[in-house]
């Protein structure tokens, strides 16, 4: 049989019938997410002033509809930096999705847990008090690679296995977390971000959280778009990071339960599995896939050695949902599903400078009392579902 007559396999999806019930036991309602989303505050892209201040009215850039400015002067000052990236090519991109993640009590909690594990915040008791206080009250910087992947795993596998020949219009996508690494000061701590961090630090102190770290997390989508969010690491996240040895999760395909180590890859997989199980988009994290989203998957398949494809290959190599076998694609060249091991994890400076709508400043907590009220309501809902 010649290479031209090789069979081309196609992947099909199956979903375990109990997936919906498992999802409902843990997911917050769409109403709670929307209410908390209203409670978030965006900052001026140029100066970092928060939109919840009395004399601040943020307006979108008329070109890209993404960047936000508190005044005409700020927009003019930022124009030389923003002009090369002022485009509608990427649509709203990850902006609304990250806003919905931050407004989701469950996902926001697990991101805080990941930050505990990354910066070892749950094990600071052994340090001298002065050193511990200085560490917690300094800006901590993190880089979270995210992507938009097909909601159907079969579509992902077809796109990954046949990057040169397989395509599909109108693919439904979903947000996925690929990798968390420590960010560099040059990447994240711009003057604008420093101003936002200080404002959130002051708000947290006033709310009694002087002992809790505020981490600037840069969510990056293949260095085409990035959004920086200040996240306060709360006591519940510290307690979970300190006291939880393992994670249990159920496959959306088979329903089979598995136990994962309680580490950053395990927590990311737990969140990704939860998002994948949301077929009715109650989490508001589904969106049409763009060509740039498909291209990242193709680059990962082709073994492109830049940061974002590496991060995606790491995810494919460790998460249970991806099919773990080798297959000969149509060109006859064997291609491993996961060519990179954990020791190849890319951290620190990226190989490509961020472009696109970098610096759309972050959703931040406006009314923390209201957030706590809604989070308590979410916990009550979870208890009712368990009984």
List pLDDT tens digits, range 206-228: 999 999 999 999 899 988 788 88
pLDDT at position 371, please?
61
β strands within 5-125, DSSP E: 40-41, 59-60, 68-69
Distances (CA, A) of 143 to 6, 7, 175, 283: 42, 41, 16, 23
pLDDT at position 256, please?
72
pLDDT at position 342, please?
36
CA nearest to 114, candidates 290, 348, 271, 287: 271
203 pLDDT above the threshold of 80:
yes
Q: Mean pLDDT in the chain?
A: 79
pLDDT at position 353, please?
36
**pLDDT tier at 324, thresholds 50, 70, 90:** low
Handedness of CA 288, 291, 293, 297 (dihedral sign): positive
Query: What number is the average pLDDT over the span 367-379?
Result: 61
CA 143 to mean position of chain CA atoms: 10
Query: What number is the average pLDDT over the span 261-275?
Result: 94
291 pLDDT above the threshold of 90:
yes
pLDDT at position 38, please?
72
361 pLDDT above the threshold of 90:
no
Least reliable range by pLDDT among 33-42, 317-326, 338-347: 338-347
Burial class (CB in 10 A: 0-12, 13-18, 19+), 248: exposed
**pLDDT tier at 254, thresholds 50, 70, 90:** low
CA nearest to 42, candidates 357, 308, 387: 357
pLDDT higher at 121 or 383: 121
Rg (C-alpha) for the chain, rounded Å, is 21
198 pLDDT above the threshold of 50:
yes
108 pLDDT above the threshold of 60:
yes
Q: How many CA atoms lie within 13 A of 213 on its CB side?
A: 28
148 pLDDT above the threshold of 80:
yes
Burial class (CB in 10 A: 0-12, 13-18, 19+), 271: buried
327 pLDDT above the threshold of 60:
no
pLDDT at position 66, please?
78
Task: Looking at mean pLDDT, say which of 34-38, 49-53, 234-238 comes out highest.
Answer: 234-238
274 pLDDT above the threshold of 70:
yes
Q: Determine the 3-state secondary structure of 224 from DSSP.
A: coil
Query: What number is the average pLDDT over the span 320-336?
Result: 54
**pLDDT tier at 316, thresholds 50, 70, 90:** very high
Identify the helix (H) or strand (E) that includes residue 219. Answer: strand 214-221
pLDDT at position 355, please?
36
């Amino acid at each position: 049989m010649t290479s031209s007559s090789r069979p081309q396999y196609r992947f099909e999806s199956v979903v375990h019938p109990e997936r919906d019930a498992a999802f409902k036991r843990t997911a917050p309602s769409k109403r709670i997410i929307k209410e908390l989303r209203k409670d978030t505050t965006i900052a001026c892209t140029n100066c970092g002033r928060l939109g919840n201040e009395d004399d601040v009215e943020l307006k979108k850039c008329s070109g890209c509809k993404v960047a936000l400015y508190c005044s005409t002067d700020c927009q003019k000052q930022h124009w030389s930096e923003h002009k090369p990236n002022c485009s509608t090519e990427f649509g709203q991109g990850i902006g609304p999705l990250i806003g919905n993640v931050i407004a989701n009590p469950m996902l926001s909690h697990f991101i805080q847990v990941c930050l505990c594990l990354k910066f070892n915040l749950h094990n600071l008791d052994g340090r001298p008090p002065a050193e511990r206080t200085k560490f917690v009250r300094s800006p901590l910087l993190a880089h979270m690679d995210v992507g938009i992947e097909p909601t159907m795993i079969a579509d992902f596998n077809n796109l990954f296995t046949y990057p040169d020949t397989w395509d599909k219009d109108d693919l439904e996508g979903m947000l996925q977390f690929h990798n968390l690494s420590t960010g560099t000061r040059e990447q994240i701590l711009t003057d604008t971000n420093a101003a936002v961090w200080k404002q959130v630090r002051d708000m947290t102190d006033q709310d009694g959280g002087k002992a809790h770290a505020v981490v600037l997390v840069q969510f990056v989508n293949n260095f085409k778009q990035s959004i920086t969010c200040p996240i306060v690491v709360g006591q519940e996240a510290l307690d979970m990071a300190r006291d939880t040895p393992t994670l249990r999760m159920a496959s959306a395909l088979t329903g089979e339960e598995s136990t994962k180590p309680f580490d950053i890859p395990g927590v990311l997989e737990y969140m990704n599995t939860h998002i994948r199980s949301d077929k009715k988009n109650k989490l508001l994290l589904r969106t049409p896939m763009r060509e740039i989203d498909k291209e990242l998957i193709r680059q990962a398949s082709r073994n492109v050695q830049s940061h974002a494809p590496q991060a995606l290959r790491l995810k494919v190599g460790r998460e249970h949902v991806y099919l773990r076998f080798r297959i000969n694609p149509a060109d006859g060249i064997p291609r491993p599903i996961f060519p990179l091991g954990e020791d190849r994890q890319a951290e620190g400076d990226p190989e490509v400078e961020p472009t696109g709508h970098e610096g759309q400043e972050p959703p931040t907590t406006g009314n923390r009392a209201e957030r706590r009220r809604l989070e308590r309501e979410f916990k009550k809902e979870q208890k009712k579902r368990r009984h």
